[in-house]
Structure 1
Amino acid sequence: MPADVFDSAACALAVTAQDGTLLKVNARFSEWLGFSTAELCGKRFQDLLTMGGRIFHQTHLAPMLRMHGSITEVKLDMLHRDGHKLTVLLNGNQREQADAVVYDLALFGTTDRDKYERELLNARHLAEALLQEKTATELALKQAQAELNEAYAIAQRRALFAEQMVAIVSHDLKNPLTAIRMASDFLSRGQRSAKEQQLLGHIGQSSERAQRMIADLLDFTQARVGQGISIKVAPLDLHAVIHRAVDELRVAFPEAILEHRAEGHGDACLDGDRVQQIIGNLVANSVAYGDLRRPITVTSRLGVGAAEISVHNHGQAIPEALLAGLFEPMTRGTAQGSDVRSVGLGLYIVRELAKVHGGDVAVTSCASEGTTFTVTFQSP
């Protein structure tokens, strides 16, 4: 190796005799150990090592060089002139020179490597700690999930029991309500004073409202607990069914102005009673929330392979935040209309009845145009 390359090398370089005597060292070697080049030449390499390093040199390093002719990345601790320890990685190679055996040594500092290894070790410890934390979190999550599942099962059983009780009570209330209505109808046929007629009218309207509420409750429990709401489809004149339903609703809601519009011609195949129930629920909703000074319009439309009914009112716009959940049970748009609204199942029942007919329900609402509920049916 040229002298200038040897002296300016980035690592510490040395050439030793077979017994370890330093024959030649470069500037980096001298700088690392704090000795001049002249002071180092003639010293034995092993004498510059710590006690542990000397033992290792005698028992392992020197024999390996003699047997294999080279060593690679052997970690050694050397002593600086002032006594502090310097850790290096040693690479050595044996070669012959002028009928003698010499060893070329290259030493590399380990400060950056040790720092990297410490950081790597710290990262490993951190990863192990995170893994342990993750495992503990997963166990806690699994336990919480098991507790949540158990709580959910209990809640489901309680909800099922409550819905079954609602179904039983609602069914049992039908008979006394029917008796009340029949009695009020019978009493209204006789000669009554204006006050008595008014009271009988209140009784009839209240029983009618209670019967609608019970019908909704029974349908709700049938949809949630039973096999779903049942229908019996048959060919019918949709316009005639809607016209008859509107006439009956005018009696039930005398304070409202109800109008019916018929569009298109032809028959549909639907459950007539359920269609009237849909109209009744939507009109009741419009009476509860609409502006009764303006008409509530019920429209029936017939097209090819489809039928549609809609109910429009001029009430206040439904808030945007409520539109998404409007057809969920026990949901109401506002607090108004408490005198005529039911238990908050009307729109839910409308959606379920539309679904069993193969259709759906939608709503549009704004301040300028009012609110329109539209039910579509797939009719063969």
Structure 2
Amino acid sequence: MPDAEQLFDEFPTGLLVTTVTGTILKVNRTFCAWLGMERAELVGRKRLQDLFTMGGRIFHQTHWLPTLAMQGSLSEVKLDVCHKDGHTMPMMLNAIRRTKAHACYDEISMVVAEERNKYERELLAARKRADELVVKERAVQAALKVTQARLRQALRLGNLFLWDVDAATGTRRYEDDVARLLGYGAPQPVSGALYAEAIAPDDREGERQAMESARARTEEGYNCTYRLRGADGVERTVASIGQGFFNDDGTLAYFVGVLSDITESTRERAQARDRALFAEQMVGIVSHDLRNPLSAILMGARLLGHGETAENKLRVLGHVNSSAQRAQRLIEELLDFTLARLGRGLAVTRVRLDPHALVARIVDELALSFPDRQIVHRTHGAGECMADADRVAQLLGNLMGNAMAYGKPESAVTLTSVLREDTVVLSVHNWGEPIAPEVQASLFEPMVRGDPGGSSARSVGLGLFIVRAIARAHGGDVRVSSSRADGTIFSFTFPRD
């Protein structure tokens, strides 16, 4: 079998490699034989344009180089190439620009144009045969109508919609069923302007560029995915594909396209990616966060087994107890997350209670956990409400823990309980670096933390997700506001009864 170099050298068409300015770097034996020149007379000594006639050199300067620079390729360019003895040979050229290791070069193939004459004669014969088929046009038109009817039924079954472009005006036209994509309950006329207005503003420029590229006779055609804002307030994601067909003079003959509503499939793919990513992150973080307290428990057990003094035993038992509580909190958070996100939601047992008294008890407990921090409890209003005391304590514990972790250590953390006529508001305020607005938007999603300054505090990232789940289980919600001037406030609002 011949090797690659032999195949290149003996290939039945002329093959050249040149710099972007035309200097010949490599040429095969076939091309040398056509020109009656030795390889040494061409490589490094001649430029591609040197082999052309004057007209060919002008074309190379005004069309060849700019087109290669913009499009990266040229095809079916017919030019006269000069033989060594002075006569010219018509040749058909194709070129493509390559880039490797920060260097650009052009690969060029040439065939003697006389070979094309045979192809053109065969083409004429084929055209003649095609002309003979014109007599069958009526039968074909009838069959086409049947096919179109079948196509329309298939489009309806596949939830697909047709559109095209008016070749004379360039205006896009949509079938009446497209109105359903725009949020209308029944088919109705859809103008190009109405459809364009429904495209999401952030997607309009990309869609416009895709269409312009397709109408520039590119082989790729039109393929674009964008969002539509419907009259019913629903945002839908659509995939739009199309293809232009052009006359011999380059003018548009017709352009047809199909729209497909991919909203649900797009949402499902995004959810699947999120679930996979969340599971991967969760395994890593939980493994890390459980390892530390379990290691401390095991170490404490070993120390107690070595007969430590009573004072040391108490200290070790304190570490063991603290580590066990950390592991227990982590497991409880994971169980709550499973119920809130993957199950039927968190269960709450609401009983009548005094929210001020409940918050006061929680503040007393937190004061023991954070003896060096100032905690202030403020109350407004009086009376009772319906709530789950344990879940409310869990919610406020999470919010207070965050306030202690991310707030200024020297500033007070304020817990306010307010009873209004129909609602109860429990809020936690702290001073410190504000939470960025873009983070606030997703702060209550799992695996999201609002750490603004690289705090060393570490958690699984489920706390605020569970806070929101508890709030919603009470028929309420939780909100956050954060700024440097007003500090950070988390507010839990729920119905009083």
- TM superposition score category, shorter chain reference: 0.5 to 0.7
Q: Which amino acid aligns with 2:456?
A: S
Q: Which amino acid aligns with 1:210?
A: A
8 Å contact 2:446–2:465 — kept in the other structure?
yes
Q: 1:297 pairs with 400, 414, 421, which one?
A: 414
Q: Which amino acid aligns with 2:310?
A: R
Q: 2:441 pairs with 324, 335, 343, which one?
A: 324
CA displacement at 1:275 relative to structure 2 = 0.3
Aligned to 1:192: 310
8 Å contact 1:357–1:378 — kept in the other structure?
yes
CA displacement at 1:282 relative to structure 2 = 0.2
Give the 5 Å matches for 1:1-380.
123=168, 134-135=241-242, 155=273, 192-193=310-311, 196-333=313-450, 334=452, 336-339=454-457, 341-380=458-497
| 1:207-249 alpha-carbon deviations (Å, 9 max, x no partner) | 3333222222211111111011111111111112112222222
Q: Which amino acid aligns with 1:192?
A: A
Bigger mean CA offset, 279-288 vs 195-204: 195-204
Instruction: Decide whether aligned partners of structure 1 residues 124 and 353 sit closer, same or farther in structure 2, where only a CA change above 3 A counts.
Output: same
User: Residues of 1 paired with 2:172 and 2:423: CA distance?
Assistant: 63
8 Å contact 2:333–2:466 — kept in the other structure?
yes
Q: Which has the higher helix share?
A: 1
CA displacement at 1:283 relative to structure 2 = 0.6
User: Residues of 1 paired with 2:171 and 2:376: CA distance?
Assistant: 74
User: Residues of 1 paired with 2:468 and 2:264: CA distance?
Assistant: 34
CA displacement at 1:266 relative to structure 2 = 0.6
User: Residues of 1 paired with 2:415 and 2:494: CA distance?
Assistant: 16
Q: Secondary structure at the match of 1:123?
A: coil
If you compute each CA radius of gyration, which structure gives the higher value, 1 or 2? Answer: 1
Q: Secondary structure at the match of 1:343?
A: coil
Instruction: Decide whether aligned partners of structure 1 residues 214 and 369 sit closer, same or farther in structure 2, where only a CA change above 3 A counts.
Output: same
8 Å contact 1:164–1:225 — kept in the other structure?
no
Structure 1 vs Structure 2: percent identity of aligned residues? 41
CA displacement at 1:158 relative to structure 2 = 5.0
8 Å contact 2:433–2:453 — kept in the other structure?
no
TM-score (norm 2): 0.41
8 Å contact 2:424–2:493 — kept in the other structure?
yes
User: Residues of 2 paired with 1:368 and 1:336: CA distance?
Assistant: 20
User: Residues of 2 paired with 1:364 and 1:208: CA distance?
Assistant: 31
Q: Which amino acid aligns with 2:325?
A: E
CA displacement at 1:354 relative to structure 2 = 1.0
8 Å contact 1:164–1:221 — kept in the other structure?
no
Which ranges in structure 1 are unaligned for 5 or more consecutive residues? Answer: 1-120
CA displacement at 1:251 relative to structure 2 = 2.6
| 1:280-335 alpha-carbon deviations (Å, 9 max, x no partner) | 00011011100121221111111212111111111222222222222221111235
CA displacement at 1:202 relative to structure 2 = 3.4
8 Å contact 1:289–1:336 — kept in the other structure?
no
8 Å contact 2:278–2:447 — kept in the other structure?
no
Which ranges in structure 2 are unaligned for 5 or more consecutive residues? Answer: 1-165, 174-213, 216-220, 223-240, 245-255
8 Å contact 2:351–2:387 — kept in the other structure?
yes
Q: Which amino acid aligns with 1:370?
A: G
Q: Secondary structure at the match of 1:329?
A: coil
Aligned to 1:48: none
Q: Secondary structure at the match of 1:281?
A: helix
| 1:95-120 alpha-carbon deviations (Å, 9 max, x no partner) | xxxxxxxxxxxxxxxxxxxxxxxxxx
Instruction: Decide whether aligned partners of structure 1 residues 266 and 155 sit closer, same or farther in structure 2, where only a CA change above 3 A counts.
Output: same
Q: Which has the higher contact order (CA 8 A, sep 6+)?
A: 1
8 Å contact 1:301–1:308 — kept in the other structure?
yes
TM-score (norm 1): 0.53
8 Å contact 1:160–1:225 — kept in the other structure?
no
CA displacement at 1:338 relative to structure 2 = 2.9
User: Residues of 1 paired with 2:488 and 2:170: CA distance?
Assistant: 64
Query: Please, what is the CA RMSD of the aligned residues?
Result: 4.2
User: Residues of 2 paired with 1:240 and 1:125: CA distance?
Assistant: 72
User: Residues of 2 paired with 1:149 and 1:320: CA distance?
Assistant: 25
Q: Which amino acid aligns with 2:429?
A: H
Q: Secondary structure at the match of 2:442?
A: coil
Instruction: Decide whether aligned partners of structure 1 residues 127 and 301 sit closer, same or farther in structure 2, where only a CA change above 3 A counts.
Output: closer
Q: Secondary structure at the match of 1:280?
A: helix
Instruction: Decide whether aligned partners of structure 1 residues 303 and 202 sit closer, same or farther in structure 2, where only a CA change above 3 A counts.
Output: same
User: Residues of 1 paired with 2:282 and 2:448: CA distance?
Assistant: 21
